[in-house]
Amino acid sequence: MTMLPRFSKPRGTSNCQSPDPANTLTDRLNTLLNSSGPGYVLSLCPSEQYVITAPLLFTAPNQEISTAGYPTDSTRATLVVAGTVFNGTGHSTAVDGTCGNCDSVKLRNVQINGTRLGAPPLTGGANIEMGGSNADQLIEYVHSFDPRSWSCLHIAEGNLTCTNVTIQNNDIGPAGSDLFQQWADGISVACTNSLIKNNMINNPTDGGIVLFGAPGTRVENNTIWVETNTLLGGINLVDVSPFGGNYSGVVDPRRREPIMRTSSLRSVSLLALAPGSEPITGTTSALMERCRNNQLTGAFSYGIGMTSAKNFTVENNVLIGNTSFIGARGPNCTGNDTTPSPAPFVIDYNTVSKSTTQLDFGSISDGDSLTCVLPPDGGDYWPFGGNPDSTSPAPAASPISTSKHPSTGATAGIVVGAIAAVVLVAVITWFVRRWAMKRTQAAKLEPRYLRDPSGYVQQKF
């Protein structure tokens, strides 16, 4: 018997809906969703912009909003958030799938332009609001960016009954500003037993992927990178609400897990992964989560910061390629808190219990200030580059660093002297050492950190 894929593409979709006339567009699209019943596909036209003044509302099970032909490139139809804004509130959501009867609704192959355009964030919903008291929803091949409010994509918990949402193959961001309290998330999930997989998240500023509990949720094969902003946290598991700090079953250890990349110019990620609860306030413990086999590369203040956690497993997480740890105490750090020096893996043993970690965690006395640090003043923060999927190599540069992964070594300086011969010797020495370092890295770094996890011995405390 032939097995059908879990999410098959509907056959015989109707002609796409025109964005014209523009003055009736939002009402026309919502009327179609409201009157067409279960299984209706609202098909948008490729390469068209749909300027909407209120959210498009799913109303029945198995409905779908998508671009005709299911393109995955810039020809996907674009929903443009353009409703009124007044006094910090207003239109911020393009698509809402949280109705009481929205099981199995799908958002596919579209683009969402939140049009913040550098303005302060609004009080309101994310670009995309899904979940609620529903099951089996799908968001795939969606480009959501520049949200007016706090996130590009939010999966809400409903009455803690949201379950089994799939978020896959999306390109998310940029999102928000790294100015104080003007941040925005890439993907924010509070839905149980969900799957967040194969997403590319570019230039978020608050959290790349944020789990609000979401017990049973798997986070796999995602890439998060920043180029022009400071990112507070790559993957955050820090909120007590709404599941009382329960992260049980999060991240299946049998699968390949997130690739964290920060390959950027003038950017730094303060925390790549933050297992635990409330790293800013250090309160109630988060429970039962696995954080394994993650790869981190780029400029960070802390690779993994662990605080206020119980029954967590954090192991086999590695640094690859060009990695540096930089940062300085910021103006928003609480006066009495100690700001730890930048480092790959840090843990506050005073607030972590019954957990298993890899042995290269460094102890810190206070984990409350891990996200109040700032990049150092001046300079280009190494490494830098563009999309981590790019095949072109990133240029090399020197980091401003207080702690650095030993595999990257230190680049020899070319000392400019008065005698030309001294300069020539310095140049030759620099190139020879660089060649030797690359050979060493190719031969030793990858097997040690990527293929042989035996160097990370578990410890319980």
pLDDT tens for each residue of 136-152: 999 999 999 999 999 99
pLDDT in tens, 395-436: 333 232 333 333 222 322 322 232 333 333 343 344 434 444
Q: Residue 81 pLDDT > 80, yes or no?
A: yes
Question: 182: phi > 0 → left, psi -120 to 50 → alpha, else beta; which?
Answer: alpha
Q: Residue 386 pLDDT > 70, yes or no?
A: no
Q: How far is 337 from 446, CA to CA, in rounded Å?
A: 37
Tell me the average pLDDT across 377-403: 44
- pLDDT at residue number 380: 54
pLDDT over 70 percentage in the chain: 68
List the single range of 95-109, 280-294, 335-349 with lowest mean pLDDT: 280-294
List the single range of 96-100, 148-152, 299-303 with lowest mean pLDDT: 299-303
Q: How far is 379 from 28, CA to CA, in rounded Å?
A: 52
Q: Residue 384 pLDDT > 80, yes or no?
A: no
- pLDDT at residue number 406: 30
Q: Residue 452 pLDDT > 50, yes or no?
A: no
Identify which of 155, 130, 152, 131 has the alpha carbon closest to the alpha carbon of residue 143.
Answer: 152
List the single range of 14-23, 77-86, 189-198, 247-256 with lowest mean pLDDT: 247-256
Residue-averaged pLDDT of the chain? 76
- pLDDT at residue number 42: 98
Q: How far is 324 from 132, CA to CA, in rounded Å?
A: 40
Q: Residue 1 pLDDT > 50, yes or no?
A: no
Tell me the average pLDDT across 365-381: 71
Phi and psi angles of residue 427, each rounded to the nearest 5 degrees, phi first: -65, -45
List the single range of 155-159, 188-192, 376-380 with lowest mean pLDDT: 376-380
List the single range of 74-78, 204-208, 352-356 with lowest mean pLDDT: 352-356
Tokens 């879990």 sit at which residue? Answer: 6
**DSSP assignments along 254-306, one per residue:** TS--PEEEE--SS-EEEEEEEEBS-TTT--S-EEEEEEES-EEEEEEEEEEEE
The answer to pTM > 0.85 is no
Better-scored residue on pLDDT, 93 or 257? 93
Q: How far is CA 200 from CA 24, 42, 196, 209, 235, in A?
A: 34, 25, 11, 11, 13
pLDDT in tens, 307-324: 888 888 888 888 887 888
pLDDT in tens, 27-42: 999 999 999 999 999 9
Instruction: Name the strand (E) or helix (H) holding 130.
Output: strand 128-131
- pLDDT at residue number 363: 92
Instruction: Name the strand (E) or helix (H) holding 230.
Output: strand 230-237
pLDDT in tens, 246-297: 676 665 433 334 444 443 333 455 565 555 544 433 334 444 467 887 888 8
Q: Residue 123 pLDDT > 50, yes or no?
A: yes
- pLDDT at residue number 275: 56
Q: How many CA atoms lie within 13 A of 178 on its CB side?
A: 24
Tokens 């749909």 sit at which residue? Answer: 50
Q: Residue 3 pLDDT > 60, yes or no?
A: no
Better-scored residue on pLDDT, 276 or 183? 183
